[in-house]
Structure 1
Amino acid sequence: MAGSSPRYDICRYCQERFAQTSGPGRKKEYCSIGCRSKAQRDRSGKAGQHQAPSALPLGRRIAEDLQALSAALLEAEYDGRPLHELLRCASDVAREVEYYTAAAVQDARYQGASWEQVAEAARVSVTTARTRWPENRVQERLRRRAAERAAVRQPLVTMTEGAGGAEGGPLSKAAERASAKLASALSHLHRSSDLTIRDVGEQTSLSPSYVSRILSGERTPTWPVVCALTALFGGDPAELSVLFESAHGKVPPAQYAITDAVARLHAALRGLHLAAGRPQFGVVRRASHGALSVQEIHDILDGVLVPGWEQTSALVTALGGWPADVRPLWQAVHYTFLLCMDPPTEPQLPPAGPSESA
């Protein structure tokens, strides 16, 4: 783990990003033994038939990132940034659209669409469709995309490390969204406490005007202030810890112990639930369009269930959040778990039985 940053690749079966081994020997093509075994069974038992390698479409993950990139472009436009910055943001969006198109075609092919149907949808000839989006070329594009996004994430830690001051300078759109959610969560706790702004000021030694600006989202408070207000309102500061870090533009370390990574994911989801005003689980289920059951929502927010990405994405969207903002937290859980189940020194042995981690 120590030393150079890990290289990332796309699992050929589940299409999740995973840390590639850097030592000698053959490069890993699958994120776990389970995925490798399933791929081998599919090849031997269902040759010539296409099956979706994952319940979650490939295009959906890329569409979530497109949402964030488009927001960055809009932010740059609003800020009146120089033309070269606007064009760089536009180029990022255009490149991601190309990746999305390839992934969407692959999704359709996995679901049984013919090349004639793909060609008609894309308004190209069948020959062009076959040439432009063959499975091996799409897989190569997705691997390249994974490497690009891994390279982009590294500088972000340095760039945003010092941006988390109490009244820091300009932050990213994701930080602004987190700041707004933090204010919403504190505001909901305040309303539930039945305390007036003056009461809060007297009991925390903060001026009523400053408390008002915090609750309205005009000011992002420091962590001691968050703790003081949350405790006064009868809440749990831990539920707001991830929102606070994101609001201050702090990028956490890429590696956590599995228990810490899971705790951070659950804290982020509970924070979003709080920011949404703690809606009843039935309301959240309806907002997820039935993607989650009431029991699943209860278990996730109670910390009993570690959700898959489709569940996480559906819950975040139902709570008014952006899946792209939460995905790094989910990935931290996923990759840490994979490393525990499938260490980098994995020998090339005959496939074992199906893994529970897949």
Structure 2
Amino acid sequence: MELTDAQRQHLPLRVLLGAATEVERQAQRYAAAAVYEAIGAGAGWETVAAAAGMETAQAYSRWSSAKVLRLFRPSPGENPELPAGQRRWAAERLGAALTQLQDCSQVSLLDAARQADLTPAFTTGVLSGEFMPPWPVVHMLASIFKGEPIELRALWECGQGRVLPSRLSAEGTAGYLAAALRGLHLAAGRPPLEQLAKGGLSATSVGRILSGHVIPDWPDTAHLVSVLGGRPGDLHGLWQEVHSAVLTLYGAFPPPCEPGPADIAVHHDGESV
């Protein structure tokens, strides 16, 4: 409920105050996520403090990992209940992707925990798939392991019981789908592209799909998600957004034009157009 709508409806004070409290809590979450994305991108706590107009120690105290973890714990009834198997599957896939990044980065678990201001036990639980952490923690660990956090976003969202709305521009939606597929590729241990090919979908086409240069049609998307250990239904809503975005940009799917080097093609029935 919008706070202004509640006021116009002359609802009881208890309802108005409850709505105001929720607005404040969501604002705190937004600020915390923004801080951790900045930290993950290389900003120091001095930069965060300057932007917030406070001392460095105050900024660190306000947005320490422990406080952020508490802030992002869902309130009762906030997120839809997920079957235990689905939540466990999502946590395990996310943990596998983070473990793959850690192995490639050669950053020790203890060092990662120290940099992220987490306990070693909690960090171990995240990488083993035992815990589903808040998004700022995922972003921080992916950055510490020199990965791209956006590639893990869809894996994390699967554990939140959400459809996968990108809320991006039409141009950005296709890139989000490619990032989601790269996240599944990462969680699967980055198998050779030849293992992902089938029929008219060559290894070269798979590489172009994962890099975001080609948008796959739905059969090829479903194939890649399945062979990478994912569930096609989780990404169907996102693919539909891509389909809609292409229609918005070009008026047809696939787009009725020959793409230039910087354009995005659409893989359809084994061909790039």
TM-score, reference length from structure 1: 0.46
Q: Which runs of 5+ in 1 are unaligned?
A: 1-163, 344-353
Of 145, 150, 171 in structure 1, the residue corresponding to residue 82 of structure 2 is 171
User: SS of the counterpart of 1:306?
Assistant: strand
1:346-357 aligned within 5 A: none
Query: Does residue 338 of the first structure (1) align with residue 228 of the second (2)?
Result: no
Deviations 1:54-97 (A, max 9, x none): xxxxxxxxxxxxxxxxxxxxxxxxxxxxxxxxxxxxxxxxxxxx
Q: Using the TM superposition, give the Cα deviation of residue 271 of structure 1 relative to its aligned residue in structure 2, in angstroms.
A: 0.6
Deviations 1:14-36 (A, max 9, x none): xxxxxxxxxxxxxxxxxxxxxxx
**Cα distance in 2 between the residues matched to 1:195 and 1:340:** 42
**Conserved? CA contact 2:165–2:238, under 8 Å:** no
Q: Using the TM superposition, give the Cα deviation of residue 317 of structure 1 relative to its aligned residue in structure 2, in angstroms.
A: 1.3
Match for residue 122 of structure 2? Answer: 210
**Cα distance in 2 between the residues matched to 1:268 and 1:234:** 17
Distance 1:310 1:340, change over 3 A: same
Match for residue 309 of structure 1? Answer: 218
Query: Does residue 299 of the first structure (1) align with residue 208 of the second (2)?
Result: yes
Match for residue 53 of structure 1? Answer: none
Match for residue 174 of structure 2? Answer: 262
Q: Using the TM superposition, give the Cα deviation of residue 200 of structure 1 relative to its aligned residue in structure 2, in angstroms.
A: 1.9
**2:101 maps to amino acid:** L
**2:154 maps to amino acid:** V
**Cα distance in 2 between the residues matched to 1:290 and 1:175:** 33
1:206-245 aligned within 5 A: 206-245=118-157
Match for residue 183 of structure 1? Answer: 95
Of 201, 212, 236 in structure 2, the residue corresponding to residue 327 of structure 1 is 236
**Cα distance in 2 between the residues matched to 1:308 and 1:257:** 20
Q: Indicate the RMSD between aligned Cα atoms, in angstroms.
A: 2.9
Match for residue 249 of structure 1? Answer: 161
User: SS of the counterpart of 1:218?
Assistant: coil
**1:335 maps to amino acid:** S
**2:185 maps to amino acid:** H
TM-score, reference length from structure 2: 0.59
Distance 1:182 1:340, change over 3 A: same
Distance 1:340 1:176, change over 3 A: farther
Match for residue 7 of structure 1? Answer: none
Q: Using the TM superposition, give the Cα deviation of residue 215 of structure 1 relative to its aligned residue in structure 2, in angstroms.
A: 0.6
Distance 1:253 1:270, change over 3 A: closer
- Larger relative contact order (Cα-Cα within 8 Å, sequence gap ≥ 6): 1
Tell which structure's C-alpha radius of gyration is larger: 1
**Cα distance in 2 between the residues matched to 1:303 and 1:325:** 19
Deviations 1:214-267 (A, max 9, x none): 011111111221111111111111111222222222334486532122122111
**Conserved? CA contact 1:166–1:221, under 8 Å:** no
User: SS of the counterpart of 2:216?
Assistant: coil
Deviations 1:133-191 (A, max 9, x none): xxxxxxxxxxxxxxxxxxxxxxxxxxxxxxx9546774245554333211110111112
**1:191 maps to amino acid:** D
**Cα distance in 1 between the residues matched to 2:167 and 2:125:** 35
Q: Percent identity?
A: 37
Match for residue 281 of structure 1? Answer: 193
**Conserved? CA contact 2:166–2:176, under 8 Å:** no
1:140-151 aligned within 5 A: none
**Conserved? CA contact 2:143–2:149, under 8 Å:** yes
Number of positions where the alignment pairs a residue of Structure 1 with one of Structure 2 = 182
Q: Judge which range, 209-218 or 194-203, deviates more.
A: 194-203
Distance 1:254 1:189, change over 3 A: closer
Q: Using the TM superposition, give the Cα deviation of residue 304 of structure 1 relative to its aligned residue in structure 2, in angstroms.
A: 0.4
Distance 1:178 1:222, change over 3 A: same
**Cα distance in 2 between the residues matched to 1:291 and 1:275:** 25
**Cα distance in 2 between the residues matched to 1:330 and 1:196:** 36
Q: Using the TM superposition, give the Cα deviation of residue 207 of structure 1 relative to its aligned residue in structure 2, in angstroms.
A: 0.7
**Conserved? CA contact 2:90–2:155, under 8 Å:** yes
Q: Judge which range, 211-220 or 237-246, deviates more.
A: 237-246
**Conserved? CA contact 1:284–1:318, under 8 Å:** yes
